[in-house]
């Protein structure tokens, strides 16, 4: 079931989602959170930092599992997703870094890295909340539009539209890694709740695919229509067609 809520600002989205996380973690201190990178969750992460600093959320027993990581850049690179998570959230809350998981995109043995991540997901899952953004092309995690989708952690060739969208974080499009290691759709669909945040008109088409009843691997976000508990938090621009 998909519940869509529309807000005026990212701060209002963050305030609303922050209360959902506060309730969960206060009731379940060992909660397991699936997390995302990118622009969409940044305001929420700021809110979670505020709530932690105000002692309204205690992250000391929380476990996190991130969706994805670029292949071929060091975890210390300013655009790696491990670096992003440390900078945007983990360094500012009382979480134990050993409880935070991001796929390993730096190894030569990527197949092993995928197996290793799948084992972590099996050990700590199912996630209480999986947080998602959505690509302009409908990708979730880095599960790109395709004839078939993978339920397990795998290596994905990023589509041109994704490289173009992510070029804003790099000096040039040539520097954007062309491959990523990503969680498959399995753990996303098994998570107890999904929270998807999308803002801006560029996401409006992808969001529309959540309302059509059609499940299409060429638009991976459409699979969320099969999930029993999805909360979609939008600004008015992203909600243009819903
Ligand atoms: C990030 C991720 C991606 C992004 C998506 C939207 O971990 O898995 O699916 O959520 O590309 O990115 P933003 O939020 O930057 O528009």
172 class by beta-carbon count within 10 Å (0-12 exposed, 13-18 middle, 19+ buried):
exposed
In terms of C-beta distances under 8 Å and separation of at least 24 residues, what long-range contacts does 97-102 make, across chains too? 99/61, 99/62, 99/63, 99/64, 100/63, 100/64, 100/66, 101/63, 101/64, 101/65, 101/66, 102/66, 102/69, 102/75
Would you give the distance in Å from CA 216 to the centre of its chain? 20
Q: Which two tokens stand for residue 10?
A: 């990212």
Q: Is the CB of 40 under 6 A from ligand 1?
A: yes
Q: Is the CB of 183 under 6 A from ligand 1?
A: no
The Cα 185–Cα 103 span in angstroms is 15
Question: Phi, psi at residue 110, to the nearest 5°?
Answer: -70, -30
> Over the stretch 62-73, which tens digit does the pLDDT of each residue have?
999 999 999 999
Q: Is residue 136 left, alpha or beta, with left meaning phi > 0 and alpha meaning psi from -120 to 50?
A: alpha
pLDDT band for 57, please (50, 70, 90 cuts).
Answer: very high
Q: Is the CB of 100 under 6 A from ligand 1?
A: no
Q: Which residues of 92-116 are buried (b: 16+ CB within 10 A; e: fewer)?
A: bbebeeebbbbbbbbeeebeebbeb
Distance 43 CA to ligand 1 centre (A): 14
Distance 30 CA to ligand 1 centre (A): 26
> Over the stretch 73-103, which tens digit does the pLDDT of each residue have?
998 999 999 999 999 999 999 999 999 999 9
> Over the stretch 139-183, which tens digit does the pLDDT of each residue have?
999 999 999 999 999 999 999 999 999 999 999 999 999 999 999
Active site amino acids: 68, 137, 139, 144
- pLDDT at residue 179, as a whole number: 97
Q: Is the CB of 145 under 6 A from ligand 1?
A: no
Residue minimizing CA distance to atom 2 of ligand 1: 141
- pLDDT at residue 110, as a whole number: 97
- pLDDT at residue 229, as a whole number: 98
Q: Is the CB of 38 under 6 A from ligand 1?
A: yes
Please report the sign of the dihedral spanned by the C-alpha atoms of residue 187, residue 188, residue 189, residue 191. Answer: positive
Q: Which residues neighbour 114 within 8 Å (Cβ) at sequence distance 6 or greater?
A: 103, 152, 153, 154, 155, 181
Distance 192 CA to ligand 1 centre (A): 20
27 class by beta-carbon count within 10 Å (0-12 exposed, 13-18 middle, 19+ buried):
exposed
* Radius of gyration in angstroms for the set of CA atoms belonging to the chain, rounded to a whole number: 17
The Cα 137–Cα 72 span in angstroms is 23
> Over the stretch 196-236, which tens digit does the pLDDT of each residue have?
999 999 999 999 999 999 999 999 999 999 999 999 999 99
pLDDT band for 193, please (50, 70, 90 cuts).
Answer: very high
- pLDDT at residue 123, as a whole number: 98
221 and 140 Cβ atoms separated by less than 8 Å: yes
The Cα 135–Cα 17 span in angstroms is 20
The Cα 111–Cα 72 span in angstroms is 14
3-state SS of the chain: helix, strand, coil percent to 5?
Answer: 40, 20, 45
- pLDDT at residue 176, as a whole number: 94
Residue minimizing CA distance to atom 11 of ligand 1: 135
- pLDDT at residue 5, as a whole number: 98
- For the segment 130-146, the average pLDDT, to the nearest whole number, is 97
- For the segment 105-116, the average pLDDT, to the nearest whole number, is 96
The Cα 125–Cα 31 span in angstroms is 10
């Amino acid at each position: 079931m998909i519940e869509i809520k529309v807000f005026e600002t990212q701060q209002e989205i963050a305030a609303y989602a922050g209360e959902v996380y506060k309730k969960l973690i206060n009731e379940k201190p060992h909660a397991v959170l699936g997390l995302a990178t990118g622009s969409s969750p940044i305001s929420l992460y700021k809110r979670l930092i505020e709530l932690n600093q105000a002692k309204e959320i205690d992250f000391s027993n929380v476990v996190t599992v991130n969706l994805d990581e670029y292949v071929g850049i060091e975890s210390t690179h300013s655009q790696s997703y491990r670096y992003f998570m440390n900078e945007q959230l983990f360094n500012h809350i009382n979480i134990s870094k050993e409880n935070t998981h991001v796929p390993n995109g730096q190894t030569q043995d990527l197949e092993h890295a995928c197996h290793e991540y799948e084992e972590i997901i099996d050990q700590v899952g199912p996630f209480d909340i999986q947080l998602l953004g959505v690509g302009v092309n409908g990708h979730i995690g880095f599960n790109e539009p395709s004839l078939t989708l993978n339920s397990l952690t795998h290596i994905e060739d990023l589509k041109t539209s994704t490289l173009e969208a992510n070029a804003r974080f790099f000096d040039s499009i040539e520097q954007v890694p062309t491959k990523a290691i990503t969680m498959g759709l399995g753990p996303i669909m098994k998570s107890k709740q999904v929270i998807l945040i999308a803002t801006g008109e560029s996401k409006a088409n992808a969001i529309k695919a959540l309302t059509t009843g059609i499940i299409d691997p060429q638009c991976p976000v459409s699979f969320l229509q099969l999930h029993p508990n999805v909360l979609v938090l939008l600004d008015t621009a992203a909600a243009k067609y819903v």
